[in-house]
Structure 1
Amino acid sequence: MLTYEHLTDVRLDGPTVVTIGNFDGVHKGHQFVLEKTIAAAAARDAQSAVVTFDPHPALVHRPECAPPLLTGRRDRLELIETAGIDVALVIPYTLEFAQLTARDFVERYFVRGLNACAVVIGRDVRFGKDNAGDLDALEVLGREFGFEVIVVDDFGAPDGGERWSSSVVRQLVFSGEMLAVTTLLGRPHRVRGEVVHGDARGRELGFPTANMSQSSDGMVPADGVYAGWLSVVDGDRSEQHMPAAISVGTNPTFDGEERRVESFVIDRKGLELYGKEVIVEFVQRLRPTVKFDSLDALIDQMNLDVDKARLILG
């Protein structure tokens, strides 16, 4: 996938079919829109393109109440690329950019920048200064500039329940309901970051853990112990999708205060992960965080957690 941040860098061989959004999480609803964009591009002998933003607009307009992001920029773009999109334009979102009128935005980015022959959007689309642009406005601009507007109707859950949305996924991650999250995403939820030194308590207890940096990307789920996977980014095949028991929380048995994500890789010894970038995927919550009265009780429970995680992960 060709990825651009500045219109002056964009190099295209022909027209594009464009869709626009934040795509946080790239959940099944997003995937549906991306599939429609790719299909529309193929039918028009065009390239498929995504226009997205970094940072998330809410972090610019309302940083004090912006929701936690499900995915960092790198994972978001990787997932969009995996879906099959040809071109991504990542617009640096600023207060100055937010002053562009709907017409100026469409002309600058869709028409001049990406040579759009069609734009794929949902019925509730909003764009331009003060979110003044809507579906009707886009259709008027499409007639003016010569591009087609393709409307994707709301894509709800298969059981007829709530529509796919990033906010629904966030609520499930916040509650630790990872099986439901996997259903909405089509894959386990992930956190990406560097392995840093911790307190080395896990090693002392016989369960050495990979402690993720506080600056890791991706929304951290509810406190508890999870079965999941750990992969070393750019590692060899033996370091991909390693089964893990993952602890999220403050280590209340040791009166900890810092909330951490720590992964014990099951049935692997001698791993050297400090300083490496890893991806941790959460498959299923095993139990909530508990404060134990003794180290023996903690170790017994950790052995049970590992056995259960091993069984779940096969």
Structure 2
Amino acid sequence: MSDGSVIIIGNFDGVHRGHVALIRAAREAEPGAKVIAVTFWPHPWVIHHPDRVPPLLTTLERRVELLRAAGVDEVVVVDYTHELSRQTPAEFVDGTLRPLDPVRIVVGENFRFGRDNSGDVGTLADLAGGDFKVQVVQLVGDASAPSSATLIRQAIADGDLERFHELSDQVFRFSGVVIEGDHRGRELGFPTANVAVDPTLAVPADGVYAGWVTRLDIPSPRWPAAISVGTNPTFDGVERRIEAYVLDRTDLELYGVEIAIDFDQRIRGQVKYEGREALIAQMHRDVEQIRDILAGHHAP
């Protein structure tokens, strides 16, 4: 690679199509330069609107993983603090961007930065002073709206994975450590790996989904799975959790193991059944439907 870098800037939550377009533009504009993604942690609303922080589509670790998979060479995570939020656009450029030796900075057309979002792409170009180029990329989306983390969060909250896939080429993943459950799944013939719902992360609407499970602690296959999100109302449950039954596997010991649950398609909403037998019969129908769906899909 040549000297210098091409920088893209953003929160990059979910690494959706708009983010991938920035990466592609950066790579094509300066083929020999290092592509650096500058992102922020925690989410800026933790500082500006702590009572309205949106549930994140990805953990920071997953965000970095997706950025690298999309073609970024290096990810710089900027600690978003009160002090940073009060920097002028010039202070941000001089303190955060110039040390990365940019030859070009690529941003979306709605890019804002600096105290009170006072800087825009014109400001950035002025501050460049000829030291680096500024390139603006148009927003990317479908016929109805540009891709955005806000729209994707709403699709996930609605359990609308079809809409999610219209806005993003990623797989929606929820990861966590498997915890002790009620052991009721095993009693019903469908042992599940239970993961607690993290309130800081986006979670699909209550219901049953087709998807995949992967161990994250060791190299692992991706197992087809029936996934339930909800409170288990048939047994008057109150704690919301995610439960994944790996199809045809009753031998997995996953307690204390971090797993990834990848959601593929929603099957139905959450229902309260009249007793165990009605629930078991429905679970058999769900598993067969999910088996048919996943048979035509490659694991993500």
TM-score bracket for the superposition, by shorter chain length: over 0.9
Residues 68-217 of structure 1 aligned to structure 2 (within 5 Å)? 68-111=55-98, 113-142=99-128, 144=129, 146-157=131-142, 160-215=143-198
Asked if 2 retains the 8 angstrom alpha-carbon contact of 1:176 and 1:285, the reply is yes
Asked if 2 retains the 8 angstrom alpha-carbon contact of 1:246 and 1:261, the reply is yes
Distance 1:217 1:181, change over 3 A: same
Residues 143-292 of structure 1 aligned to structure 2 (within 5 Å)? 144=129, 146-157=131-142, 160-215=143-198, 218-236=201-219, 239-292=220-273
Shift of 1:37: 1.4
Asked if 2 retains the 8 angstrom alpha-carbon contact of 1:120 and 1:152, the reply is yes
Which residue of structure 2 aligns with residue 19 of structure 1?
8
3-state SS of paired residue (1:256): coil
**1-structure distance, mates of 2:2, 2:141:** 36
Asked if 1 retains the 8 angstrom alpha-carbon contact of 2:212 and 2:222, the reply is yes
**2-structure distance, mates of 1:233, 1:185:** 23
Shift of 1:217: 7.3
**1-structure distance, mates of 2:90, 2:113:** 9
3-state SS of paired residue (1:117): strand
Deviations 1:140-172 (A, max 9, x none): 111x25110011012221xx2211111111111
Residues 287-298 of structure 1 aligned to structure 2 (within 5 Å)? 287-298=268-279
Shift of 1:14: 2.9
**1-structure distance, mates of 2:170, 2:20:** 12
Asked if 1 retains the 8 angstrom alpha-carbon contact of 2:109 and 2:121, the reply is yes
**1-structure distance, mates of 2:39, 2:161:** 26
Report the residue type matching 1:210 in the other structure: A
Note the residue ranges of structure 2 that are not aligned, 5 or more in a row: 296-300
Shift of 1:139: 1.1
Report the residue type matching 2:141 in the other structure: G
Most deviating of 162-171 and 13-22: 13-22
Shift of 1:240: 2.2
% of aligned pairs identical? 44
3-state SS of paired residue (2:30): helix
Shift of 1:138: 0.8
Most deviating of 219-228 and 160-169: 160-169
Which residue of structure 1 aligns with residue 298 of structure 2?
none
3-state SS of paired residue (2:112): coil
Shift of 1:179: 2.5
Which residue of structure 2 aligns with residue 30 of structure 1?
19
Deviations 1:97-146 (A, max 9, x none): 111110010111111x201111001121110111111111111111x251
TM-score (norm 2): 0.95
Deviations 1:48-99 (A, max 9, x none): 1110001110122212111111111011000000011111110011111111
Shift of 1:13: 8.0
Note the residue ranges of structure 1 that are not aligned, 5 or more in a row: 1-11
Asked if 1 retains the 8 angstrom alpha-carbon contact of 2:178 and 2:194, the reply is yes
**1-structure distance, mates of 2:198, 2:286:** 27
Deviations 1:23-58 (A, max 9, x none): 01101111111111122231xx32111100011101
Structure 1 stretches of at least 4 aligned residues deviating more than 6 Å after TM superposition? none
